[in-house]
Structure 1
Amino acid sequence: MKFFSPKSLVILFVLSLVSISAHSQNQMATDSIDLFLKDKMEQLHIPGLQIAVVQHGKIVKQTHYGVANIENSVTVTDQSMFSINSCTKAFVGVAIMQLQEEGKLNINDPISKYIDDLPVAWKAVTIKQLFANISGLANIIDERENLLADTENGSWEKVKTLPMEFNTGDHFSYNQTGYVIIGKIINKVSGMHFTKFIEDRQFKVAGMKQTRFGDSNDIIPHSAGAYTTQDVVNGRWITTDEIRSSYAKFPEFFRTCTGIISTSGEIAQWIIALQNGVLLKQKTSLDVLWQPAILNNGRVGGFNKLVNGYALGWPTVTREEHPAFGPIGGMRSAFFVYPKDDLSIVVLTNLQGANPEWFIDEIAGYYIPAIKESNGFGLSPSLKKLRKELMKQHYNNALKIAESLKKSDSGFVLGENELNDFGYKLLGEKKQIEALKIFKLNVDLYPKSGNTYDSYAETLAGLGNKKEAIKNYKTAFQLNPKNTNAQQQIKKLESM
């Protein structure tokens, strides 16, 4: 069983595939990306999307799809303006590094060096620890992302009365209080409000003529709108069965956390300016900007297994192969910079719930084939070995091959969850027979796990083998009586 929320949304909107930029590197790659994104938009119910690709310092692809406004069927253009939400933090990181290059601060300074009215427990926290969300400070917003009070001063005074959530550096916990403090620091040391500092030192310098700060209260020319499938239930974000308009208000003091509105093309320009030494002058500054903070246990901390670290406003995809630095915002926009591959991908959407960070690697794979899932990217070394041998035998004799690899390599280990994920990746590639054999291998290796039988049964049902599907769903339920999915599928199949 794969754990995800069903997205049976009922909505009519136009997904218009707009003409491809003349910058396209080659027609085959362009067509493939367009087809991939069109399919992804239909799958995730994304109304509108912009993409820009930077390779070797140039924009090699820039195009758009779908609708900016569902109600009036207004199509997306290259000028459509998308909220980038927390991707704003990456700009704040650059601003701090600009001030560090000028000798006006140091990211390892305690924040008490710049801010006076702080609780005692906060004073030793550093600027870098605020950026990396490892400070332990209480959050200035609640679980529904509302500020703790109606005013800036009220929220600030309230959060200062709250206890530390953990010892600084012990954990990663996404936190907006730190960025409010960073805004105060930029205001003080730059001599101007942080929004103007970023506008003057980044937007104008990078030629970002449309990019601005704003929210739903503002009239934004060429606005791409905002929609959501998300809601908070019992303190957790869930995907609902409906799409609706989304309203967001970002007070000016909060705009170090979120608030920039831009286009994929202008974000691409900004990335080029950043990597070409236009925004940061010192060669080492990018290394500092992108260095993830280390927790007290010696590890990095981040949102999930993909975006697993956090640097100066930049979430990091820390991995041995094709590492990336990837700002993500509002569950709707993201851009990944692959410095070792000289490649960057910018994807902006108008749907909270699109989470493009989960499919940007696949787009990158059209330019760097080794990054494609279908070529084994993202698999563990053991699973890559298994995949290589299975392909030679058309996925036959999976258990025998796995046992042989284990005998020849004591370090060969196949985890239940990774095999389950691999099976679903194969299903996503429409390789049902191959997926079935992987799920069967998982059953053989983990016969006491109800989830392995559930996934195997699901694939059997998809292939029309009702009898075997029922049998395996029953085993899944016996092993895990809380598996309501197995119960439901048994009833469904027996009634057919």
Structure 2
Amino acid sequence: MTLKHSFAIFITVLVLPLFSFAQQTQNLQHPADSIDNFIHRLMEQRKIPGLQLAVIRDGKIIKNESYGLANLEHSIKTKPESIFSVNSITKAFVGVAIMQLVEDGKLKVTDPLSLHLDSLPADWQKISLAQVLSHTSGLPDIMDADEQVMGHGVEQVALDQVKKMPMEFKAGDRFGYNQTGYVLLGKIITKLSGMHFTKFIEDHQFKPAGMNLTRFGDSFDAIPNYAGAFRMTKQVGDSFVRMSSPGVGYMQFPEFFRTAAGILSTSTDMANWIIALTNGKLLKHDNSLTTLWTPAQLNNGKIGGFNGLTNGYALGWPTVTREEHQAVAPVGGGRSAFFIYPKDNLCIVVLSNLMGANPERLIDEVAGFYIPDMKEANGFGLPPAVKKLRTGLLKAGFSNTAKVMANLKKAEPTIDFNENDLNEWGYQLLKQEKVNDALAIFKLNVSLYPQSANVYDSLGEVQEIIGNNKEALINYKKSLSLNPENKNAAERWKALSGN
């Protein structure tokens, strides 16, 4: 997260008037609980028009709520029947479909593409289905520079174009998110099942799981109870400009592309699908689920994923690989996500209609309402070194950061405190309204990294928040001297100095 973005979020939380969609239109079946209040605040802060939340524990739906507006133009409230696009969560369904074919003896995930498809470029032929599913294939991407599917909706044109492109990297060398492989998987499912892949998924997943409202589609389909798509940015030239309120978004998923994205569903249907999957209704063998959810290893033995949270990728399923509360975590379009915590018998489903809402960033916090040690305020998710620092500061007080740091270094000379880790923790403390504690952490970061423009900018921000504009100006100026291109520091210095 950039400093400017972090600061904007914090100011939105504490100062600016709150967005009112969720607050005005929440559709609850019972009085609001603490989770409802949390979701309310997040929707207000992120300007999310509509959202559905489902919580599964021990194989049962224990909470299922609808919030806000499914349609802004006509002020239509979100309800249980509202249908949301889940975008790339569709890939998790494809992973299940492939494992169903494995159980039927029709393929192996180690099979090369050439075993099931003809007329492939030479570099594509030895790539395994597992590498395609886990985005480690190195295939060129079938999306163009404008993030549209090549071929203007014509499958053969799109495939002819992408087949002429060079490989992005050697298969297995790294993680590279890629849609081409999923188009190929759709062709394989269709070929081996004897029916179009959309019908195979409908018959073998939607129907047995009781997903009565779930379907394939996009913005060009007339979908009853559709919750729509909204976005906070619009393209102006080659750049994207943030708007003050959500505008309408459009999604086009040609039928041949609908293994990559294209499923629309409800939180109830998604919860029922997850229960059916984890209860053995969709996959017959226990080891099938293990295979489905095991992150792919790269050629160097490591795993690769989107970011520090969803840091691995299995067979159509992103993974959250960490010491505590590991999860499998499909995400879609920056608007919908769900986390299954296998060892905790817990799952959180969040569907929204705002592109860029990034609900995966709040799901752990929702899980914390059921597993308290997962609450961000309790230190969950902090790197090991920062956790040790936090423990020491809770005992000695944040005014004693230098002393606690010295003691940690003495006890563990190799301990290392990453600049970005400390910065992120500082912003977490700000969100928790622990401003003085955050100030102590940002000051510590400056002492550890005195040549970083970033740390002075962050310290300037927190000093501005507490009203110490004189010190804020000093730190913004120092940040600019180290990095004259720091736009946030330049803007804040100009605003505070009047120049």
- Which one is further off, 8-17 or 324-333? 8-17
SS of aligned partner of 2:385: helix
State the partner residue of 1:349: 352
Check 1:58–1:414 CA distance in 2 against 1; reply closer, same or farther (3 A cut). Answer: same
Cα separation, 1, equivalents of 2:370 and 2:175: 33
Contact 1:226/1:247, CA 8 A, preserved across alignment: yes
Contact 2:27/2:78, CA 8 A, preserved across alignment: no
SS of aligned partner of 2:496: helix
Contact 2:91/2:259, CA 8 A, preserved across alignment: yes
Q: Is the counterpart of residue 299 in structure 1 residue 302 in structure 2?
A: yes
State the partner residue of 2:147: 145
Contact 2:25/2:77, CA 8 A, preserved across alignment: no
Query: Shift of the alpha carbon at 1:382?
Result: 1.4
Amino acid at match of 2:346: L
1:162-193 CA-to-partner distances (Å, cap 9, x unmatched) read 11111111121111110000000000111111
SS of aligned partner of 2:451: coil
Q: Is the counterpart of residue 105 in structure 1 residue 87 in structure 2?
A: no
Cα separation, 1, equivalents of 2:234 and 2:39: 25
SS of aligned partner of 1:411: coil
SS of aligned partner of 2:461: helix
Cα separation, 2, equivalents of 1:400 and 1:492: 36
Cα separation, 2, equivalents of 1:350 and 1:326: 18
Contact 2:19/2:47, CA 8 A, preserved across alignment: no
Which of these residues, 453, 465, 480, is aligned with residue 477 of structure 1? 480
- Which one is further off, 304-313 or 12-21? 12-21
State the partner residue of 2:138: 136
Query: Shift of the alpha carbon at 1:296?
Result: 1.2
State the partner residue of 2:177: 174
Cα separation, 1, equivalents of 2:343 and 2:414: 28
* RMSD over equivalenced CA pairs, Å: 2.1
SS of aligned partner of 2:62: strand
Query: Shift of the alpha carbon at 1:404?
Result: 1.1
Which of these residues, 383, 395, 398, is aligned with residue 380 of structure 1? 383
Cα separation, 1, equivalents of 2:130 and 2:4: 35
Check 1:414–1:52 CA distance in 2 against 1; reply closer, same or farther (3 A cut). Answer: same
1:245-277 CA-to-partner distances (Å, cap 9, x unmatched) read 111121111110111110011100110110000
State the partner residue of 1:49: 51
Q: How does 1:151-230 map to 2 (within 5 A)?
A: 151-230=154-233
State the partner residue of 1:14: 21
Q: Is the counterpart of residue 71 in structure 1 residue 73 in structure 2?
A: yes
Q: How does 1:90-489 map to 2 (within 5 A)?
A: 90-150=92-152, 151-230=154-233, 241-489=244-492
Query: Shift of the alpha carbon at 1:381?
Result: 1.5
Cα separation, 1, equivalents of 2:168 and 2:362: 33
The number of residues matched between the two structures is: 490
Cα separation, 2, equivalents of 1:487 and 1:3: 11
Contact 2:25/2:69, CA 8 A, preserved across alignment: no
The TM-score normalised by the length of structure 2 is 0.94
Check 1:12–1:405 CA distance in 2 against 1; reply closer, same or farther (3 A cut). Answer: closer
Contact 1:20/1:62, CA 8 A, preserved across alignment: no
Check 1:136–1:439 CA distance in 2 against 1; reply closer, same or farther (3 A cut). Answer: same
Query: Shift of the alpha carbon at 1:240?
Result: 5.0
Contact 1:13/1:67, CA 8 A, preserved across alignment: no
Unaligned runs of 5+ in 2: none
Cα separation, 2, equivalents of 1:133 and 1:416: 30
Check 1:311–1:362 CA distance in 2 against 1; reply closer, same or farther (3 A cut). Answer: same
- Which one is further off, 146-155 or 99-108? 146-155
Query: Shift of the alpha carbon at 1:482?
Result: 2.0
SS of aligned partner of 1:204: helix
State the partner residue of 2:3: 2
Query: Shift of the alpha carbon at 1:487?
Result: 2.5
Query: Shift of the alpha carbon at 1:18?
Result: 3.5
Cα separation, 2, equivalents of 1:411 and 1:11: 45
- Which one is further off, 446-455 or 52-61? 446-455
Which of these residues, 27, 37, 40, is aligned with residue 38 of structure 1? 40
SS of aligned partner of 1:396: helix
Query: Shift of the alpha carbon at 1:481?
Result: 2.1
Query: Shift of the alpha carbon at 1:82?
Result: 0.2
1:97-141 CA-to-partner distances (Å, cap 9, x unmatched) read 011011111011001111011111110001111111111111111
Amino acid at match of 1:433: N
Amino acid at match of 2:248: S
Structure that is richer in helix per residue:
2
Which of these residues, 492, 495, 499, is aligned with residue 492 of structure 1? 495
Cα separation, 2, equivalents of 1:298 and 1:249: 37
Query: Shift of the alpha carbon at 1:451?
Result: 1.3
Cα separation, 2, equivalents of 1:63 and 1:121: 48
State the partner residue of 2:62: 60
Query: Shift of the alpha carbon at 1:484?
Result: 2.9
Check 1:19–1:234 CA distance in 2 against 1; reply closer, same or farther (3 A cut). Answer: closer
Cα separation, 2, equivalents of 1:235 and 1:309: 31
SS of aligned partner of 1:359: helix
SS of aligned partner of 1:129: helix
Query: Shift of the alpha carbon at 1:491?
Result: 2.4
Cα separation, 1, equivalents of 2:467 and 2:494: 16
Check 1:233–1:277 CA distance in 2 against 1; reply closer, same or farther (3 A cut). Answer: farther
Check 1:234–1:393 CA distance in 2 against 1; reply closer, same or farther (3 A cut). Answer: farther
Query: Shift of the alpha carbon at 1:231?
Result: 5.0
Check 1:238–1:421 CA distance in 2 against 1; reply closer, same or farther (3 A cut). Answer: farther
Cα separation, 2, equivalents of 1:335 and 1:49: 13
Cα separation, 2, equivalents of 1:316 and 1:461: 38
Check 1:62–1:17 CA distance in 2 against 1; reply closer, same or farther (3 A cut). Answer: farther
1:195-216 CA-to-partner distances (Å, cap 9, x unmatched) read 1111011111001111111111
Query: Shift of the alpha carbon at 1:235?
Result: 8.0
Check 1:369–1:233 CA distance in 2 against 1; reply closer, same or farther (3 A cut). Answer: farther
Cα separation, 1, equivalents of 2:143 and 2:216: 20
- Which one is further off, 323-332 or 464-473? 464-473
- Which one is further off, 449-458 or 94-103? 449-458
1:401-451 CA-to-partner distances (Å, cap 9, x unmatched) read 111111111232211111100000000111111100111111111112121
Cα separation, 2, equivalents of 1:155 and 1:339: 39
Contact 2:49/2:72, CA 8 A, preserved across alignment: yes
The TM-score normalised by the length of structure 1 is 0.95
Cα separation, 1, equivalents of 2:109 and 2:247: 41
